[in-house]
Structure 1
Amino acid sequence: MINKLFIYIQVLIFALSACNQKKDDPQPNSGGSDGYAIISIAPLKGKVGEEIVITTNQIENVSKIIFNGVETAPHAITNTEIKVNIPEYATRTGKIVLEVEDKDLKAESSEDFTVEYPANQLAHIGGKTRFGATGFTIGTKLYMGLGNATNDFWEYDTETNAWKQIADFPGGARSFATSFVINNKGYVGTGKFQRSSPSAPIWYTDLWEYDPSIDQWTKKADFPGTARTSAVGFSIAGKGYIGTGDANDGSSNLGAQEDFWSYDPTTDQWTRIANFGGRYVKGAVSFVIDSKAYVGTGNNGMQGFWQYDPATDQWTKKADFGGGKRSGAIGFTSNNKGYIGLGGNAGETGYKQDIWQYDPTTDQWTKVADFEGGARSWATAFSVGNKVYIGSGFGQSLTSANYTSKKDFWAYKF
């Protein structure tokens, strides 16, 4: 009897000891396939580019980390510790998933990770990263598409901070097209599709009208000038304008151009107007203030700036752009002031991130800000009311030394 009681006590002690040991062991953050699990993530929030450490319950050669929906790769694995930088374009909150492809293993965090974005950084642009895109504003909605030889188009609602894909641009994939708005309809045309070598690129003269009320594109009269890319476009008093740019006649590249044309949507006809006052230019920018257009910069190193008055069909020289020579910049209007920023100069290393304000009453330029998204060229800018929206482009990655196309989106008040 005593022996049986002794055995019973020994079993009870062993069971209690095992329970206590299990309780003291570190518990996985979340289970995964075949027992593979995340033990901890430190820290649980951070900014893009910052390093975090993920600890797992077993040593594995992790091939992929899905970070709030965005795929990236670790830069260091030491035993069960995995070091990774927070990637660009991850959503603000979400799960972290580890994948070991050669063993078909997967582990997901039980807690959400938070990416800390600046207050004025908005929802990422829909679709892929892009530069050389084009866009226009209708009411409180922004429309952006093309770039990086794509033909998709997206609508951004400034009131809900949400992107929605709309009908694809039917004219074909291209970059460096131009656009303008007349009577709540967007117009997109020209541009170039750079095919893989040895195929020659396609240069365009077409013009398409977008009606947001029915989400439909309609072909309009072709631009009558030579096919071109990197032109400027704007609209004044019910007419659209396209001019300058880098042209090709189908057999050879003609380089920068000076011709300008106006488009009347009521007759679907184009009319030749006065040549650009700054002569031959490509990669310039434009904005409109009080029914006058302003065009400047371009050609990988120009800072000339001109005003166009459609009432007299004349160009007038204005003060040179204050930020120095550049092309591939952005131009926009806000509160009756014009702005030019970003871009680059072929004679300098890297790109620009400065933004300059032009006052037409004094004909003077003033630097007003540096773009928080970083230096870049061929971005896209919009204005709605007293807010300005800037995004896309080609610039340095926030997680490496490489230069890459972008899909971030920012709001400013000037």
Structure 2
Amino acid sequence: MPDRSAARSRQAPTADSPDRIRNVALVGCSGSGKTTLTESLAVAAGAVGRAGRVAEGTTVSDYEGIEQRHRRSVQLSVVPLEWNDIKINLIDTPGHPDFDAEVRAALHAADAAIFVVSATDPISAATRALWRECDDEAIPRAIVVNKLDVARHSFDDMLTDCHVAFGLGPDTLRAMFYPVYDGDRPIGSMGLLTGRSYGEPGPCPVSTEARESLVEAISGQDDTLMERFIAGEQLDTASLQEGLTREILACTLHPAVPADETGIGAVELLELITTGFPAPTQRGRGAPPCDPDGPLAAQVVRVAGDSYVGRISLVRVYAGTLRPDTIVALADGDRDSRERIPALTSPFGKQQRPVGEAVAGDIASVGKLATAQPGDVLYDPDHPVPLDRWPT
């Protein structure tokens, strides 16, 4: 079994404001390496001591017996991490089409999606279809080109394939980090915006033109940045990262990150999520304002059974703050019941770690909601809120 001492010894990551939260779903076809990437991210963030392996049934997110036997995910799993003082609710999803409902529930709970594509295989029709669905819903997206250590295709070739498969314009998909090789072996990467190197030191193959092209793409929708860029001014990293977030949120730019199963790309992706991905306050999603002090508006993402606790409901809070020992109304459009919120927990794969509250934008688990079903709305009985159920 992998060393879980780091996870046991640390309390669950918490956030006291929506600005310190990022909700991200990892999506992609079976075998693309989403669960292994989740392990790499957990190790990089210090949430576990060492990475588990899918083949050994020791990963954080594949904890059910059926997943361990068949060596593939069958349900979504939330793995909260902390990086740069930001709480990241990372949602690992199954890639097999039989479990599409889990993927859609994860996308509804998330504010951005990371498409994981394997450099060893063609981009599947199912992945292309899911990209189109996310495009229709204006869900911000990034791409991880995975398995570069055993790749049949280069990073550049995979970016070209993604352009074609997802029908992207020439300036829409941009590498944020570029792989660095020692012969055919990837040993790290170089950040195009910051010039920072990751992994083992090595020669940087990134040209000045590549960085300038990325900066131009980031500046394209911001008149002030574009004027400064055209004038030849050296743009500071903070301004570029603000521009990057705007472009990602508007779905006019999809950053790409190289990765492999040795952990290359993990720190880079954590940096991208915390500095470039939108916070819950930046995603309207047809919900009330993401205000922790407003009336409660939350939604059940999925319901699972536990042999000790019983029913556990995974809940995304859109507005207000969810606290234990409060009475909430629970509705599905046809019925309306009242239930008391017991103790809240933060899921970490199979573990449930206690938390005191869940502010607007956060994801938490609630035990023993007797009538809860996926899509049900939780709200303050004195302040009904307009929050639609989603198709399940």
What TM-score do the two structures reach when normalised by structure 1?
0.24
**Structure whose CA Rg is larger:** 1
Q: Normalized per residue, which structure has more helix?
A: 2
Q: Greater relative contact order (Cα 8 A, min sep 6): structure 1 or 2?
A: 2
Give the strand-richer structure, 1 or 2.
1
